[in-house]
């Protein structure tokens, strides 16, 4: 059993991006501990499938089709979950999309699309659920950022920007909410096996490079979710994983200019190989 399950005996969690990848992995891990889980995702078909899996695993699924970039829809869903579950203990602001492209070649509409999902989706989750957590004097917010907020590789401007914003709001809320009994964790993983490349708009090359990094990682969403849940149980603010990501975090602070050059070299080499 996870420490989070002991700390929050009412076991109520809300997860965005729950129909696949890391969100699904979180749901199945918590289901084994008997959680009531709000499963939110834009993909209604996959959501129903995950709901059945959660039930089989021992959880109580509450299913909500949701586009996290839709402010009004999110408000309605948040209110419904709070009524259905009687409160909230764990909030996973996990939904996100991945993409890339050279700064001036990536359309402004694409920047707006990514900001609305990766950045505002996290903001809306915090905005609508924090009041309930404050009233309870308890809760834990887990915001999914990325090691991209550390690496900031070339041609990934929109993604890097939104994930850095998730780090910033997590750090801010960590300080603001600690006196209310509310904990905050910011998740910053490198690539692992998800379907994040499917929604890419930046072109075939970006999609190919992203998929290569995913395939090369060797990490499954389940093991990533397990480590995150264990470390969140220790109240860690920065959940940076795996070891390579923690090395990036260290070198960026030790030698920032050298680190910027190395990131550029390595990423451009990967782009060159993928283009062949």
Instruction: For residue 161, give both structure tokens.
Output: 């920007």
Residues 30-62, buried b or exposed e (16+ Cβ, 10 A)? bbebebbbbbbbbeeebbeebbebbeebebbbb
pTM of the model: 0.91
Count of alpha carbons within 13 Å of 226, Cβ hemisphere only?
Answer: 7
H runs (alpha helix) in 32-156: 44-57, 71-85, 108-114, 120-136, 148-151
Closest CA to 93 of 173, 31, 157: 173
Instruction: For residue 87, give both structure tokens.
Output: 């409160």
Cα–Cα dist 39/41, whole Å: 7
pLDDT tens track, the chain, 276 positions: 999 999 999 999 999 999 999 999 999 999 999 999 999 999 999 999 999 999 999 999 999 999 999 999 999 999 999 999 999 999 999 999 999 889 999 999 999 999 999 999 999 999 999 999 999 999 999 999 999 999 999 999 999 999 999 999 999 999 999 999 999 999 999 976 566 555 655 555 555 555 555 555 568 899 999 999 999 999 999 999 999 999 999 999 999 999 999 999 988 777 666 666
Q: Which CATH architecture has domain 3-275?
A: 3-Layer(aba) Sandwich (3.40)
């Amino acid at each position: 059993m996870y420490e989070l399950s002991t700390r929050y005996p009412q076991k109520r969690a809300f997860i965005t991006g729950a129909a696949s990848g890391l969100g699904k992995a979180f749901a199945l891990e918590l289901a084994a501990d008997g959680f009531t889980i709000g499963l939110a995702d834009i993909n209604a078909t996959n959501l129903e499938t995950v709901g059945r899996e959660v039930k089989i695993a021992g959880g109580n699924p509450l299913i909500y089709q949701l586009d996290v970039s839709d402010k009004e829809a999110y408000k309605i869903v948040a209110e419904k979950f709070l009524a259905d579950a009687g409160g909230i203990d764990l909030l996973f602001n996990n939904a996100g999309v991945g993409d890339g492209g050279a700064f001036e070649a990536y359309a402004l509409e694409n920047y707006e699309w990514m900001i609305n999902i990766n950045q505002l989706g996290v903001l809306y989750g915090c905005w609508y659920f924090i009041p309930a957590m404050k009233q309870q004097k308890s809760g834990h917010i887990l915001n999914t950022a990325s090691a991209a907020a550390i690496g900031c590789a070339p041609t990934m401007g929109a993604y890097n920007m939104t994930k850095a914003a998730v780090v910033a709001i997590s750090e801010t809320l960590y300080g603001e909410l600690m006196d209310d009994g509310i904990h905050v964790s910011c998740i910053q993983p490198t690539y692992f096996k998800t379907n994040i490349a499917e929604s890419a708009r930046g072109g075939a090359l970006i999609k190919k490079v992203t998929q290569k990094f995913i395939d090369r990682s060797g990490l499954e969403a389940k093991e990533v979710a397990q480590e995150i849940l264990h470390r969140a149980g220790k109240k860690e603010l920065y959940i940076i994983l795996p070891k390579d990501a923690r090395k990036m975090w260290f070198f960026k602070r030790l030698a920032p200019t050298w680190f910027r050059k190395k990131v550029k070299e390595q990423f451009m080499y990967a782009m060159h190989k993928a283009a062949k």
